[in-house]
Structure formats: C-alpha cells, structure tokens
C-alpha cells in the first residue's frame, strides 16, 4: 500500500463485510506526530481463535484461498515506524481496530487521500452501513457523518455521482487546514 | 464545509433525473471495480474515483459504479468489469485513471469496447 488512506480503505472493507451498521474511522495526529488510526464497527465481531488467524498472513475468512494480507500489511507498516496495531473484538458486538504510527519516522507512509477513501467506501456501499469520519490534529478537527447527508437526501441514493463529488469536495475542504496540503 | 443547501439542490436535481431514468433496471449499465487488498494496492481507488467523475461530468444517467472483491487474478489488477445491457461483460485489466476516459467515451457512451485494454488482449 502506498499510503495510510489505502490501508484504511482495505481494513474498513472488513467492517463492511462483518455486516456493520455504523463504522467510525478516526485519524488523529498529536503534536509529537504520533498518528492514531481507529476503525470502530458494530459488525459480527471475531472470537479469539479467528482474531489470531486474521493477524497472520496465512489466515483469512475467505474460503476460496488461504491467504489474507490486509491486516498483516498494516501491522508491518505500523511496526516499521516503531508503532503497532491492536484489535479488540467481541462476537456479536463489533470490532475496534487501532494502529499507531510514528509520523516522524522515515518509514512512515503519508496519510494520503482520506476523502477519496471515505467517498469510495460510501459510494460502493450506499445502502448500509453509515460511515463517520473524524479527523484531528493540533491545528483543528472535523467530522463527517453520512447519517446527516442521508437526512437531507431523503430517498436519493448516496452513490449518485453528484452526491459523491459533493462529499469529496466537502471533506477535502475541511481536511485541508487540519492536515495541510502536503500531508506529513 | 460545503453547504447543506447545496446538497438539497443536488437532491432536487437528482430526483428530476431519476424520473427520466429508464424504468427497466436491466437497461442500466454497470461498472464494477475490483476493490480487495490486491486491487487497492494496485491502484483501484483512483480508477473508481475517475469513473465517478467522468460519469458525473458527462451526466450519464443509466450508469452505476460499484465494487467487488478479489476474483483471483491479482496480477491483473486494477480490474474493471463493464456490463452493457444485452451484451457479454467486458473485463478491463491493469486499469489507470488515464485509461478510464477512453473506456467511458468509447465503450459506455458509444458501445464499442476498448479491445486493447481488455483481459483478452493482456493474456494472449
């Protein structure tokens, strides 16, 4: 993966497949440039045995093949910076995925296009779930909630191209001052 | 933040457009982008965004963009399937945002697949 936003896209697909109704993506950067990514869902969750399996590159929930690389790749990129990942999961309740990365490490990936990731997720899954994006840095914070968009749109689909473009511009506009033009 | 009033205007415009949309769902064109770990790592997200952008600027009404998982040919990602009503699906491989413009213009608008980008051309 070339940047963190692509990891977020990949890992959030797991939450979608877990049947979540609400998925919250948080990206926080503190004054020491420690990046905390959190993906919280209310999907089906995992038991201890499955959790151990998905952490390994040779484990997956898929039945068509034996490898699954999403989580191991994220773990590798976090550990390269001196950070790590953690997954907290309760069967039937949901999952909280957390990754910490040291933004001042030479091996830290750039944040990338978070707005692009968010809009791709929403456009590809317009009916369910709802997505919340929360971003914060010492320069400010923002949040974007598809439930608010849904309320205005009524029965217009979230995947309408014009709606997607509106979300994209609106999120980019808000993220600019928080993470800056060139991100980290 | 871009205003909610703007979103309300989009809603009104879209509702008008939906009324013009063909009644029969089977008449709609589908663009399906492979969006598993392999697709994302190979650059599927910018490809999907470019499709949405092109469809929006051209105001194409009967086209939907959606995603699928990994179909086992990771080396050919980013892959895109285009379904035109009454025609066999066309699979494009090694897609880039630059190639999207031609696929939209020649295939989706004019009904002629861009043969050189297809899986048939890549795998011979």
Model pLDDT for residues B17-59, shown as the tens digit of each residue:
777 665 666 678 999 999 999 999 999 999 999 999 999 999 8
Residue A163: pLDDT band with limits 50, 70, 90: very high
**B23-122 in CATH: which number?**
3.40.30.10
Looking at per-residue confidence, does B20 or B76 come out higher? B76
- Measure the CA–CA gap between B72 and A41, rounded to whole angstroms: 27
Say yes or no: B74 contacts chain A, CB-CB below 8 A: no
> What is residue A96's three-state secondary structure?
strand
CA distance A58 to chain B (A): 14
Predicted TM-score (pTM) of the model is 0.90
Read off φ and ψ for residue B100, nearest 5 degrees: -60, -40
N- to C-terminal Cα separation, chain A: 17
Residue B14 confidence (pLDDT): 85
Domain at A4-177, CATH from 3.90.79.10, 3.40.640.10, 1.10.10.10, 3.30.565.10: 3.30.565.10
pLDDT tens-digit map of A61-107:
766 665 678 899 999 999 999 999 999 999 999 999 999 999 999 99
Give me the mean pLDDT over the A23-43 stretch.
96
A68 in contact with B at a CB cutoff of 8 Å?
yes
Cα–Cα distance measured from residue A166 to residue A164, given in angstroms and rounded to the nearest whole number:
5
ipTM of the modeled complex = 0.86
Where are the domains positioned within chain B? 23-122
Q: How many angstroms separate the Cα of A53 from the Cα of each of A58, A60, A72, A115, A132?
A: 7, 7, 10, 31, 28
Q: Which of A6, A113, A170 comes nearest B2 by C-beta?
A: A170
Comparing CB atoms, the residue among B11, B35, B66 nearest residue A152 is: B11
Q: Does B81 touch chain A (CB under 8 A)?
A: no
């Amino acid at each position: 993966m070339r940047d963190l936003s692509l990891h977020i896209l990949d890992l959030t697909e797991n939450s979608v497949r877990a049947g979540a109704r609400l998925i919250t993506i948080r990206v926080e950067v503190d004054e020491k440039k420690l990046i905390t990514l959190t993906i919280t869902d209310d999907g089906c969750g995992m038991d201890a045995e499955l959790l151990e399996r998905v952490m390994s590159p040779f484990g997956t929930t898929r039945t068509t093949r034996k490898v699954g690389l999403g989580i191991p790749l994220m773990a590798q990129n976090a550990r390269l910076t001196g950070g790590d990942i953690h997954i907290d999961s309760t069967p039937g309740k949901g999952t909280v995925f957390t990754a910490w990365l040291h933004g001042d490490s030479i091996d830290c990936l750039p944040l990338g296009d978070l707005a692009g990731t968010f809009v791709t997720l929403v456009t590809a899954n317009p009916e369910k779930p709802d997505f919340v994006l929360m971003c914060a840095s010492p320069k400010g914070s923002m949040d974007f909630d598809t439930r608010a968009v849904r309320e205005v749109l009524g029965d217009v689909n979230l995947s309408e191209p014009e709606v997607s473009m509106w979300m994209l511009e609106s999120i980019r506009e808000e993220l600019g001052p928080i993470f800056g033009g060139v991100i980290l | 933040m871009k205003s909610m009033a703007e979103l309300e205007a989009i809603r009104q415009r879209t509702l008008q457009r939906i009324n013009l949309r063909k009644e029969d769902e089977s008449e709609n064109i589908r663009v399906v982008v492979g969006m598993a770990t392999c697709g994302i790592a190979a650059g599927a997200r910018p490809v999907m965004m470019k499709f949405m952008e092109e469809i929006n600027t051209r105001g194409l009404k009967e086209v939907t963009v959606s995603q699928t998982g990994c179909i086992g040919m990771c080396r050919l990602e980013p892959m895109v399937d285009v379904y035109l009503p009454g025609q066999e699906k066309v699979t494009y491989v090694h897609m880039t945002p630059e190639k999207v413009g031609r696929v939209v213009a020649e295939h989706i608008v004019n009904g002629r697949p861009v043969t050189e980008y297809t899986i048939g051309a890549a795998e011979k």
